[in-house]
Amino acid sequence: MRTPDRRWDLAPEVHRLVGDWARMPQPPDVAGLEEAIREAYRAAGLRPGPVIWCRTPGEYLAVLESPVAHARLLLAHRHPLVRLRRWRPIGIGAVGQIVVAMVLAVVLMVLALSTWIAATVLSYRLVLAVLGIGLGQSSPVESGVFLACLAGWLLVLWRALPSVISLARRAWTAVARRAWHAEVPWVGELRRPPLDLLPWRALREVAVALAPPVELGSSSSSPGQPSGQLAGQLAGQLAGQLAGQLAGQPPDHPLVVSARWQDGVRHVFVDSERVPELPAPGQVGRQAELFAREWVAQHLTLGAQAVDRHVVEQSVVRCYAELGADAPTLRWYPDPARYARALDEVRSGRSPWWVPTMDQQIRDVIRRGITPGGRPGPAEAQLAPVVMAADPLGRFLTRSFSPVATIGWRWRHAVRRGALAGLPDEPADRADRLLTALEQNAPVPWTARRGLAVLLEPPPEVHRGELVAGDGGTRLTTHSLAWPDGSWWHLIDGVRVPRPADSGDWTVAEIHQVVNSEARRVLIEVMGWERYLAEADLPLLAEAPDPANPPHTLRLFALPAAGWQDLNLLVMTNASPGLDGAVRLFAEFVPAGFDDPVAAVAWQYGVPVAVYRTLQRRT
């Protein structure tokens, strides 16, 4: 069975890091990075093995994602795990074979001649002893020679035999699998700050890294202009178009990078995102959706209250001042469509306030912190994490429904990595204080950019939902907002849905037509998983007894009808009755690929299935 845990999407990492390389004052120093990798191994108490440099991102990704490619690479680099070091098959052709046969014949003749001479001049017993044949040796000298030679021959066989065995493809893929599985505990544990600039993975006995491109060009005008030969060409071809839109651009304009790898293939990145061509302007609908979730999340925790624009503006300006940044221009927008359009313009580079994404900013700060001679100024070091934290989605995720969701992690870890790199810890404290102050004083959606704060006026008419207990936990009933442009927004749990939940029953077909998968999920929960399962008639993949929860079972369903190909649905029965005494079904998503529902639950808790099978009690 395919193990879903192993599905890594490494491409984004490679792209980000290539973008970072382009911003470095000098091209990455391969020898220095290799030493840093060895240092990381030593720091982890491991003996550093060889560093294998992959020539292209494709090779790097293939090596890490496929055991076979992995094994091939180990083989090519004579890794000790694969004992195919001396007996590699060589394509020598017909002439070569004749030559080899002649050489072998000559060698055999010389051997035979020398044996005959030795047997005549010395003794045949000694010859046998040298050949490792223990027949008739009588003197201690002959016995000693025999034993020493026998050991020598065994050593030769030991070296040669596994090589011959390893010629079988099956054998070396088995070896590779062993290496592949052995690698698990080390991933992530050997990260050290300088190596954050390098796509690499630490395996148990070998490190795999992506060699920098042979040619790196960038259109950046930020400090540390790279010396890539392509900068000029790119300025004309790609960045030139952006530059036209960005008349009077600030220093942080989009970074267009071109990298040529050792196989001659060229990749283009805009702000660390790999692009086939120039990025299209962002999707207004997507931004507006994010906004809506964020806004309702705020109202869930804060309650609707009248917003004093003056207080909000003061708070925002004070936050910038506290962080040593220049006071921003403040722009208010009356409805989400216009707010989203403004955000889109800011983010897609059509606004003079365009700055890189928050993630990129943090990486920049960290990179400067660890690049000799490039230490960040206080304002730069402090602004970047704050911008991250002030991002509506980031705040939504960190402060609302999902307190330690991914972006929250990224933010905290970025700060921690900043601390690792010797940056002061204050940005985190300040960002926390800033957020708290803003949530108290400025309960409006807003987005901070260097020199610009975009704010949305609250809707004039709000029909607040109520918190009600229901299937899948407590949830908010429909929250409806009316905007000055005449549009209405209906939201459940902060997710925009086509119509209010109480405007008539939802049908399975209607839910499946909803494009946004989060909204589909919310609507299924409103409908109730039990009813949904009864009506949707999902294909049952597997069923197994629920450990420590008899007589209930775990069921695994496929979800093609709902449009989730990569997910399966795990349906469980709560072991504890709810407050009303009823025992409820609940359903959660797991990656597709499990054929045993118990293995899917074990995946959920991050334990081996054998551990989960020993479950003694579930409440």
Site residues for other proteins per CB under 8 A: 4-5, 8-10, 12-13, 187-189, 191, 400-406, 409-410, 413, 416-417, 473-475, 517-518, 520-521, 548, 564, 566-567, 574-581, 588-591, 604-607, 611-612, 614-619
597 and 611 Cβ atoms separated by less than 8 Å: no
Distance in angstroms (rounded) separating the CA atoms of residues 115 and 131? 10
312 and 455 Cβ atoms separated by less than 8 Å: yes
519 and 496 Cβ atoms separated by less than 8 Å: yes
> Which segments within 121-238 are labelled E, that is strand?
200-202, 207-210, 215-218
Residue with structure tokens 């800033």? 434
What phi-psi label fits residue 367: left (phi over 0), alpha (psi between -120 and 50 degrees) or beta?
A: alpha
Count of residues making up the chain:
619
Between 3 and 114, whose beta carbon lies closer to other proteins? 3
Between 277 and 580, whose beta carbon lies closer to other proteins? 580
Closest by CA position to 259, among listed 19, 13, 23: 19
Residue 468, CA distances (Å) to 491, 492, 493, 507, 610 in order: 15, 12, 11, 21, 38
CA angle 44, 45, 46 (to 5 degrees): 95
Measure CA 181 to chain center: 19
Q: Min. distance of Cβ 522 from other proteins in angstroms?
A: 10
Q: Report the side by side order of strands in the sheet with 540-545.
A: 540-545, 553-559, 564-573, 585-591
Q: Min. distance of Cβ 4 from other proteins in angstroms?
A: 8
Distance in angstroms (rounded) separating the CA atoms of residues 426 and 416? 11
259 and 269 Cβ atoms separated by less than 8 Å: yes
Beta bridge pairs of residue 480: 463, 490
Q: Min. distance of Cβ 179 from other proteins in angstroms?
A: 19
- According to DSSP H, which parts of 481-596 are helical? 508-513, 517-527, 529-536
Distance in angstroms (rounded) separating the CA atoms of residues 257 and 20? 10
Q: Min. distance of Cβ 501 from other proteins in angstroms?
A: 17
For the range 462-465, what are the long-range contacts, defined as Cβ-Cβ under 8 Å and sequence gap of 24 or more?
462/299, 462/304, 464/299, 464/304, 465/491, 465/492
Q: Min. distance of Cβ 80 from other proteins in angstroms?
A: 27
How are beta strands 200-202 and 207-210 bridged, if at all? Answer: antiparallel
Q: Report the side by side order of strands in the sheet with 495-496.
A: 461-463, 479-482, 488-492, 495-496
Q: Min. distance of Cβ 466 from other proteins in angstroms?
A: 14
Question: If DSSP states are collapsed to H, E and C, what string results for 352-375?
Answer: CCCCCCHHHHHHHHHHHHHCCCCC
Distance in angstroms (rounded) separating the CA atoms of residues 571 and 543? 10
Closest by CA position to 598, among listed 588, 611, 613: 613
Between 10 and 307, whose beta carbon lies closer to other proteins? 10
Between 83 and 555, whose beta carbon lies closer to other proteins? 555
Q: Min. distance of Cβ 549 from other proteins in angstroms?
A: 9
Q: Min. distance of Cβ 221 from other proteins in angstroms?
A: 29
